[in-house]
Chains A and B, each alone.
Chain A
Amino acid sequence: MASNPLLSRRAFVGAGLAAAAAFGALPAAALSVDEARALIDKVVADINGVINSGKSEAQMMPSFEKLFARYADVPTIARSALGVAARSASNAQMKAFTKAFQHYISHKYGRRFREFIGGKIEVKDARPLKSYYEVISTAYLKGEAPFEVRWHVGDKSGKNLFFNIIIEGVNMLASERTEIGAMLDKRKGNIDALIADLNAT
């Protein structure tokens, strides 16, 4: 039935994992499908390592933030989440916002990592997608039906990095655009206030 209070149960897990999803970078060259896959293999191995490390949730958070910083194109994701407001922001504001966004997104998802302990993610397939690559993986969590996690990987930043994660159709970039946009509206468009609040999360 499609009539859960909000979403299917897998979407909930997915939304949580999307959060978890951020991790990884390799030295650049012209990106091939094999390299895109290798990048996500590495990301996934690192994630699996963290969620099964026996660390506490609080100890896991810095590990996840590091993964996100290393393997994801954080400046591009942050700018996209900020949307049109990014055009009028100063360079200093964008730098501060990117840093705050990285903190916010890794903590937001870090808080739910408890749910992934004992689970694992496996890369299944990779294919070209426009001028990028899509790597398809499956997440196996305890007591859940396996679900699909897709990674969009590109090298337009100069490095091979992922820029979006899609879990059972739920898209991290789209979700964060909605969320950051709503946060900015609540602060009447004041980016500095937004940065301060993201740092406080």
Chain B
Amino acid sequence: MRPGLVAVLLLAGCAGAPASQGIHDPLESFNRAVHASNKTSDRLLVRPASQAYGAVVPEPLRQGVSNLADVLALPGDIANGLLQGNVEEAGTNLVRLAVNLTFGLGGVIDFADAAGIPEHKTDFGETLAVWGVGEGPYLELPVLGPSTARDAVGSVVDLALNPLNGVLEGDDRIAAAAAGVLSRLNDRYRYSATVDSILYDSADSYAQARLLYLQNRRFALGQSGGGAAEGATDDSFIDPYEDPYGQ
């Protein structure tokens, strides 16, 4: 916890404007080296493992494991929702947790989804954004992939402060971690065609992954294209008539 908080303070100290635009990647050569090694581990390990998981384990079972992983993430989502002052989303997540634990065989069946209770996934990176911490430089992390300085700190804090840390012990803790890993493998399997095309068909997979991550993350954090009237000035608008060559 302490190293995380120190890092947060450091980050807050050098934070720029919260609404980030463009690509800020001063560590590009380091990031590209990490990207190359992530691609190698995807090719040799993650992709083959996901193909085996998809081929061997039937879809309903894989979905059940992913549902369980989502339920296990809810306490963290609730804590972050409260830290963001978003009582409504934290409350909805609490209801989800209660409903799925009660009627969903301990989280394996997403009963809440069928009941129309939405899921609000969040994380400490978003909490930092709500608190006004700037995005910081782009980072590609080993194993975890595309991130930013702010989101990397968020990932560390989420791991260190997960409310389940004090609850789950021994085999339960290992099973929870395994559900998380299998859920990621299931995503890698389900979106295999798209992930493969980004990683292996792009002329520059590093640049493509960086762009997709930053755009999607800023959208998720409500910094661009959020439907507000000020959308006209956001990062997502490109005018190919006024600026035909994208300068």
Contact = CB atoms under 8 A, between A and B. Distances in A.
B225 A178 contact: no
A16 B123 contact: no
B227 A136 contact: yes
Instruction: Classify chain B: how many residues form its interface, as a range.
Output: 35 or more
A169 B224 contact: yes
A16 B121 CA distance: 22
A86 B245 CA distance: 7
A188 interface: no
Interface string A119-153: 00000000101101010100000000100101010
A95 interface: no
Contacts of A150: 225, 236
Interface residues of A, number: 60
A175 interface: yes
B96 to A, nearest CB: 13
A168 B215 CA distance: 8
B147 A2 contact: yes
Contacts, number: 166
Nearest to B126: A2
Interface in B67-90: 73
Given A163-B240, A169-B224, A3 B144 contact: yes
Nearest to B41: A5
Interface stretch (A6-14, A26-34, A38-46, A48-56): A6-14
A169 B225 contact: yes
Nearest to B224: A169
Contact of A14 (B211, B216, B246): B216
Contacts of B137: none
Contacts of A154: 241
Given A2-B123, A2-B155, A183-B203, A7 B197 contact: no
A3 B145 contact: yes
Contacts of A115: 193-194
Contact of B191 (A2, A9, A134, A174): A9
A2 B188 contact: no
Contacts of B246: 80, 83-84, 173, 177
B184 interface: yes
Nearest to A144: B190
B15 interface: no
A77 interface: yes
A5 B208 contact: no
Contact of B207 (A129, A156, A182): A182
B57 to A, nearest CB: 16
Nearest to B59: A143
Contacts of A179: 202-204, 208
Interface string A151-191: 01010100000011010111101110111001101100000
A3 B198 CA distance: 17
Contacts of A16: 193-194
B12 interface: no
Contacts of A66: none
B232 interface: yes
Contacts of A84: 245-247
A175 B211 contact: yes
17 contacts: A2-B154, A3-B145, A4-B187, A7-B216, A11-B213, A83-B247, A84-B245, A112-B197, A129-B231, A130-B232, A150-B225, A169-B219, A170-B212, A171-B215, A182-B207, A185-B203, A186-B203
Interface of A: 1-16, 73, 76-77, 79-80, 82-84, 86-87, 108, 111-112, 114-115, 127, 129-130, 132, 134, 136, 145, 148, 150, 152, 154, 156, 163-164, 166, 168-171, 173-175, 177-179, 182-183, 185-186
